[in-house]
Amino acid sequence: MVGTIPTTSATGGRRSRGPRGFALAFALPMPVWQTLFFVAALLFLIVMTFWSVRNFRVEPDFTMANWVKMLSAGYFQDTYFRTVWYAALAALVASLIAFPCAYGMAFKLSPSFQRIVASSLILPYFTSYLVRAYSWKILLTENGVINGVLGYVNLGPFAMTSNLFAVLVGYMTLILPIVILLQYFSLAHVDRRLIEAAHNLRCGALRTVIQVVIPSARTGLILAATFAFILSFGDFVSPSFLGNNKPPTLSILMVDAVKSGSQWPRAAVVAITMVATLLLVAFLAMAFAYGRKAESR
């Protein structure tokens, strides 16, 4: 009897530790992935900003010259604020265009049609974003399809490439379906009883949307706009292929820094500036989205 007790307890111990180890094995890849491919890479970029380039070769060093050179340069400051403006404008335009679509999906369509529309919004991401941007370039050129159609009614040709309009079209290609889906998920969880109460109080449709629907879905709407800003801020394809680098954004400036004399440390300064900006925007957006809920509680 005495000899069987340790065996039973040991077996029970192994059985109790088994599920924990199994769960740990499944949970481990995520922190490892984040550590290796985000934290470690970010730390390496920070270290590289203090290195120097001699004879087109990057050499370990500790100098503030790269930060001083980039942050004090007028072209960097102009490019930074231009990139912020482009991303903010894209987030605003995408949010305004997406809201009627998301509202119609959430409140006007049956559940079966909602699933169909949601699936159709996901389908474009099965193709390359670069291919979609090139497709828009074919459509928007002076000899493209759109100007060709407008020519039949004696309009145009209009300059629809190498400008802000072309860049925004590319941004919409990237972010608009995602913004619609995020807004739809937020609007779909709005309490219908609040809308019925507003109607009972004789609120019109527009007033109900402004005073009931939007405040109830505020968190999701802010998160959708933030996501649109983040994707647009770091995008390289649209400013490069549709805007033709005129004028450049930070992503283009980072590539140019690498091409001109292998200035990897200066490119790292641009990259760290972009990461810091995105983290700040995300933090402010989260505080604004969840701040009032925390205060109300």
Say which residue the tokens 């029970």 belong to: 12
Note the pLDDT tens digit of each residue in 252-275.
999 998 887 789 999 999 999 999
Q: Return the structure tokens found at 21.
A: 């180890």
Q: How confident is the model at residue 18 (pLDDT cuts 50, 70, 90)?
A: low
Q: Give one DSSP letter per residue of 116-178, joined into a string.
A: HHHHHHHGGGGS-HHHHHHHHHHHHSTTSHHHHHHHTTT------SSSHHHHHHHHHHHHHHH
| pLDDT for the residue 22 | 64
**Whether pLDDT at 100 is above 70:** yes
| pLDDT for the residue 171 | 96
206-215: average pLDDT: 91
Higher-pLDDT residue of 138, 101: 101
Residue 31, preceding peptide bond in cis (omega within 30° of 0): no
What are the boundaries of each domain within the chain? 1-48, 69-296
Top-level CATH class of 69-296? mainly alpha
Note the pLDDT tens digit of each residue in 32-69.
777 777 888 889 999 999 999 888 888 898 999 999 99
